[in-house]
Structures are given as structure tokens and as C-alpha cells.
Amino acid sequence: MTIARESWGVSPCGKEVVLYTLANASGAYVKLSNIGAGIVAAVVPDRDGVLADVVLGYPDAASYFGDGPCAGKIPGRYANRIALGKFALDGVEYTLPVNNGPNHLHGGPDGFQNKVWESREHNGGVEFLYYSEDGEMGYPGAVKTVARYEWTEDNELRLTITAECDAPTVINLTNHAYFNLNGEGNGTILGHQLRLNSSEYLPTDQTQIPLGESAPVAGTPMDFVNLKPVGQDINADFEPLKIGKGYDHCWVIDGAEPGQLQDCAELYAPESGRVLEIYTTQPGVQVYTGNWLSDSPMGKNGHKYEDYSGVAIECQNYPDAPNKADYPSAVLRPGEVYDEAIIFAFRVR
């Protein structure tokens, strides 16, 4: 395993942008950036051993700042949506910026994904650190977050995210990479096959805030219990799919237990033979089929991404959990450690 570090320009605020390349003995590699502690590339073999980059992204660092898709980065302090940009904690109501219809999304317009994190090579991996001040984007308490990536000889990208605070707050962190297992810029993911270890999902209102209780996927287009083409039911006459112009929903991971890695998802591209298996300690997974990617900056290698050019499979807590007492708690208190893991395992079939 080798790790190479290079400068990738300067951020709008004058900080150095750094790119890390983690390569294994087979020649497969990933590229990571300190912009939002993001995944910039994952170059892995197909069934014939041909390497290709399967992560959507941009050719320059500048495009990663403020991009609508949040490509490859870690959004925060709260990934996904909080209804009306409001939540109460210990009897105090907090107001957050509204940046997605009437709701707060991904920590707001100046969330973790648009920050330049500190970074270092450490113990065979790369660690990114971001210190979020008390009151940043309206959130209470200061939070120190560390994202650690490791790349293995068998093409597994392992991400652990830890965080600590100095006052009670809410937190929900994930990675927002978009995958196309035929290679980024190579058509849509509608022909990819997806399996989710989830027999229930969270129905939402018209603004994509969960209504409350989960619902069974059986008999609906939300059923991915067995491998199914992503596009098979995406245009079905089904209200949840009409709301977001495709899949943009949170599924409840069967058998999820705090701190325990669990099978989450499998994505398979029959054309290339590439498989992505995902494991996580998180209780839910938001699947977003890139329904609005045509608005994104110009992609790598001169590729113009269109809607459904990639799929994000975001392991996380449930949307709007700070306002839903029955959901897994999103509260982090002093002395506690937020500690979650995601494994992206690339295989072939």
C-alpha cells in the first residue's frame, strides 16, 4: 500500500487543497481530498481486469466548493433534511438556515462539505479533521470531527467517522459519493442492479421530510430486498417517486444495532461485472439516484453528467431524527463519542 500527497490548488479562503492517492499492489487506487473529506476517485477493475474510475467528480478543486450534488464529500453537521430548519434540544429551540425548499439540508449552505479540513497520513490511512465552532450554521456546541479512510489490498475503502462536542448538539454524518460501476461519465445507473438489506422505508411528505413510522417495501417500487434494476420501477405511478423525480428516500436497515457492522447494500453493473458491497454501523441508508445531476458542474474527463448518471448510497441516521422522538437519537453530549463506520467493498462478478 502506498500513499502519495500532492497540492491541488488553493481554496477561496486561501487554504491549501490537498489530494491523496492510496494505491494497493494490484494497481487499484482511490483519491481523497481535504475539501469536505471527500472521495474524488475510486479506480477499480472490471471482470476483465480493466481499471476505471467509478466515482463521479470534477477535474478541479474549485468545482467541489458549493456544488449542488455534494459529490463525494461528508455533509454535516447533519446530513439529510431537518424540517423547517428547526429542532429543540433540552428545551431550547434552534433555527438553522433553510436551503432545500422549506427545509435544512446537509448542514446548510456552508456545511462540512464546503470546508477545507485539516489532513494527515497516519498509520497506513488518511485522516481528516474539522473543528466546527459553537453556533456554526445555527448548531449548538463546538464539534471536532475526524474522518479516517483506509484502502485495502482487496479493494475495500473503509471509512470511520468520529466526533466529540463540548455542549449538547445533534449530528449525522455520512459520505455522499456517487457511483457508476461502468465508469463515471459512462451512461446512467438505471441498468445497475441494487439490493438493500431493508424490508421497510420511511415515507415522506411533499418536501421529503419523513412522516414518522416506516412502511413495508413489499409490493411497492421501494422493494429492493432482492437485486433489481434501479430503473425498473423508477417511473412507476407511485407518489413517493413522483415527489423527488426518482429515488431519494431513507430505508431502514434490517438488523441494525449500534456499533455493529451490518450488511447494507449491494450494487451490481452487469455490463462491467463490477460489484459494490456496502457495510455500515448506521441505522439507515438514503438512496439518491442522481435525479438532478444535470445541474452539476462539468465532470471529470470532459464528461457532462446527466440525471441518473450516478447513485449515492448514503449510510446515516434517519432524516429529521432531531424532531422525531421514536427515531434513533441524533443527540451527542459532552463525554460521548459519535463513532460510525462505512465500508465500500469493490468486487467483480
Q: Which residues contact 212 (CB under 8 A, 6 or more apart)?
A: 324, 326
Question: How far apart are alpha carbons 208 and 202 in whole angstroms?
Answer: 10
What pLDDT is stored for residue 341 in this prediction? 98
Domain of 273? 2-348
Question: How far apart are alpha carbons 63 and 183 in whole angstroms?
Answer: 20
Q: How many domains does the chain have?
A: 1
What pLDDT is stored for residue 67 in this prediction? 97
Summarised one tens digit per residue, pLDDT across range 128-161 is 999 999 999 999 999 999 999 999 999 999 999 9
Q: What is the mean pLDDT of residues 209-228?
A: 98
What pLDDT is stored for residue 20 in this prediction? 98
What pLDDT is stored for residue 180 in this prediction? 99
Summarised one tens digit per residue, pLDDT across range 247-299 is 999 999 999 999 999 999 999 999 999 999 999 999 999 999 999 999 899 99
Summarised one tens digit per residue, pLDDT across range 55-100 is 999 999 999 999 999 999 999 999 999 999 999 999 999 999 999 9
Q: What is the mean pLDDT of residues 88-116?
A: 98
* Band of pLDDT at residue 195, cut at 50, 70 and 90: very high
Average of per-residue pLDDT values in the chain: 98
The CATH number given to whatever domain includes residue 298 is 2.70.98.10
Question: How far apart are alpha carbons 162 and 326 in whole angstroms?
Answer: 24
Active-site positions read: 176, 314
Distances (CA, A) of 77 to 179, 216, 243, 348: 23, 30, 25, 35
What pLDDT is stored for residue 320 in this prediction? 98
* Band of pLDDT at residue 14, cut at 50, 70 and 90: very high
Q: Which residues contact 53 (CB under 8 A, 6 or more apart)?
A: 41, 42, 43, 183, 184, 300
Q: What is the mean pLDDT of residues 218-238?
A: 98
What does DSSP say about strands 193-196 and 262-268: parallel, antiparallel, or unpaired?
antiparallel
Instruction: Give the cell for residue 125.
Output: 490511512
Q: Which residues contact 95 (CB under 8 A, 6 or more apart)?
A: 85, 86, 138
pTM for the predicted model, two decimal places: 0.98
